[in-house]
Structure 1
């Protein structure tokens, strides 16, 4: 039975993105229900209605492998000149995102949730995850002395609330942000991508793209084992993938690959299905409502303050969307927002911002937890 379930999950992850991509032809409805949104929701439905029963570790492995293979293919479109020309605005937006997260998380925790048990631990973990990522949430939780159950509760709330924000971000989010911030045109590059991806790549070219990505992933995994003896250092692995992919993009043999972006985008949709399969709403049943409410207020405060500061400091919409994604969701989610706004050039600065966030998150999260514990 387990073998059948595993085979079914693999077929779902492989096949549903193809169906989701057909929604691009649904007009206005297709613009709202983007393939990214559909894949994520579909995975959540399968998981939470118990339509699939594979082990969590297998689901994690499927999502991790798909994004690890997608990243090199998407980064082949990297433009270092674009990064250099836009470095200042991305750095400013990243700094504003960090400032917004620290101020909003601390203020909301103290002002509205001061009497919530372990509010110092909850606020520290939420700040860590909204500056870095899930790894930082767990590290900060243990650093603040939180129990495994409490860490799991905060993580579950983040998955549900953060997942909801991700759906907004990859559907109507860019249009809403463009109403507030200066809009940066990416139409020239978008047209080029559309021309390149209009036709389905030949099977041989798809295999060549996958082979190149597998080689880069294999080298990255090998270096991680050589230096650390395991794959637990996800930051190092992402750094390796990013660096090797950028270097490979300069090779003539890689530049001749047709459809690499399209293949990478399909793998990205597979990752979205796998991500939805990991969303377990049952973890919040019981005493989780106050934590969910705290998480909702924190993410709304963080994003709202970041948007206000971006308006004041004249940050454009693309830089805001990318750095918001980088800090709140981390490196694996940058390609999603890049696909949504139609500009793969933002992937590289987005990943750089996300990695900086990961490095800062534990310090900020534990520091905020200690500070709240001291003043309360």
Structure 2
């Protein structure tokens, strides 16, 4: 749908259509952190991030109202019902973090600095300078690799530190944004965002119908990609199906992990072939 949006909107956004394709791919596979990373990687203007984020909040908010109201009934009308599978409660096997808050933050910060340093070093070693796209890709790869380290799985506070830094970035991006540009280009950006968001939902439903995927799985995976892990629990409650929660959370985390790579790839493909 990002490729389709690029073809439709290329004439109206000749300078930014490739950047927008990549950023929307990232945000609707992962989340806002992916969109901000891709913006840096492809060299997009800070105002573009603000405009896309505004469009995402408004259009995504409209669809979220539908998801948390009548969507389960609508989806279950067209798609098969999910067979309930009862599994043994494994809550006791999930050990809580043994690290106190300060060690949590120190370890997460230390690893982030180390990953950034190694990524920068590899850039200088092979390119003689820092390439933003390669730098973001390497950081993403190191982040995924860190998830396999046992102590990393116990860092329950690391996500809060990341959220705080993301808010700082958003504040800085907002201060640098050109409001006149956001308002002047709002209509084509809203159309582009709508094509990717609602087009992806429709395509997802069509594929699910032909492959006979049940309604609950379609709903929770769609929420995981379009909105990320924080909204999975909310929609699972509306669906009255908590058994699907773990799978939805896993999909949301997977989207955050691959969103940067796919978003940068889409931006490069659109830039070179469209």
The TM-score, its normalising length taken from structure 2, stands at 0.67
For the residues of structure 2 that align with 1:332 and 1:231, how far apart are their CA atoms? 24
Answering whether residue 231 of structure 2 is matched by residue 333 of structure 1, we say yes
1:277 maps to none
Question: Do 1:129 and 1:136's aligned partners in 2 also have CA atoms closer than 8 Å?
Answer: yes
1:152 to partner: Cα distance: 1.3
The verdict on how the C-alpha distance between 1:220 and 1:365 changes in structure 2, with shifts beyond 3 A counting, is farther
* 1:232-282 deviation line (CA, Å, top 9, x unaligned): 89x89x999xx66xxxxxxxxxxxxxxxxxxxxxxxxxxxxxxxxxxx9xx
For 1:144, which of 28, 42, 51 is the aligned residue? 42
For the residues of structure 1 that align with 2:111 and 2:248, how far apart are their CA atoms? 23
For the residues of structure 2 that align with 1:220 and 1:364, how far apart are their CA atoms? 35
> Any idea what SS the aligned residue of 2:260 has?
helix
2:67 maps to 169
Answering whether residue 188 of structure 2 is matched by residue 290 of structure 1, we say yes
1:228 to partner: Cα distance: 2.3
The runs of 5 or more residues in structure 2 that have no matched partner are 87-94, 113-138, 155-173
1:375 maps to 273
For the residues of structure 2 that align with 1:223 and 1:309, how far apart are their CA atoms? 46
2:109 maps to 229
* 1:103-129 deviation line (CA, Å, top 9, x unaligned): x1212221x111213100001000000
For the residues of structure 2 that align with 1:220 and 1:148, how far apart are their CA atoms? 36
Question: Do 1:224 and 1:231's aligned partners in 2 also have CA atoms closer than 8 Å?
Answer: no
The verdict on how the C-alpha distance between 1:307 and 1:222 changes in structure 2, with shifts beyond 3 A counting, is farther
1:287 to partner: Cα distance: 2.6
For 2:6, which of 89, 96, 109 is the aligned residue? 109
When the two chains are superposed, the root-mean-square deviation of aligned CA atoms in Å is 3.3
Structure 1 residues 59-78: aligned runs within 5 Å:
none
1:289 to partner: Cα distance: 1.4
Structure 1 residues 348-363: aligned runs within 5 Å:
348-363=246-261
The verdict on how the C-alpha distance between 1:307 and 1:224 changes in structure 2, with shifts beyond 3 A counting, is farther
2:123 maps to none
For the residues of structure 2 that align with 1:356 and 1:334, how far apart are their CA atoms? 13
The runs of 5 or more residues in structure 1 that have no matched partner are 1-103, 190-214, 245-279
1:118 maps to 16
For the residues of structure 2 that align with 1:142 and 1:347, how far apart are their CA atoms? 33
1:266 maps to none
The verdict on how the C-alpha distance between 1:107 and 1:227 changes in structure 2, with shifts beyond 3 A counting, is same
The TM-score, its normalising length taken from structure 1, stands at 0.50
> Any idea what SS the aligned residue of 1:315 has?
coil
> Any idea what SS the aligned residue of 2:256 has?
helix
1:359 to partner: Cα distance: 1.1
The verdict on how the C-alpha distance between 1:221 and 1:320 changes in structure 2, with shifts beyond 3 A counting, is farther
Question: Do 1:334 and 1:347's aligned partners in 2 also have CA atoms closer than 8 Å?
Answer: yes
For the residues of structure 1 that align with 2:254 and 2:245, how far apart are their CA atoms? 14
The verdict on how the C-alpha distance between 1:341 and 1:226 changes in structure 2, with shifts beyond 3 A counting, is same
1:219 to partner: Cα distance: 4.3
* 1:66-109 deviation line (CA, Å, top 9, x unaligned): xxxxxxxxxxxxxxxxxxxxxxxxxxxxxxxxxxxxxx121222
> Any idea what SS the aligned residue of 2:213 has?
coil
* 1:269-314 deviation line (CA, Å, top 9, x unaligned): xxxxxxxxxxx9xx76443111011111111110111111111111
Structure 1 residues 1-376: aligned runs within 5 Å:
104-110=1-7, 112-115=8-11, 116=13, 117-184=15-82, 219=99, 221-222=101-102, 224-229=104-109, 285-376=183-274
> Any idea what SS the aligned residue of 2:205 has?
helix
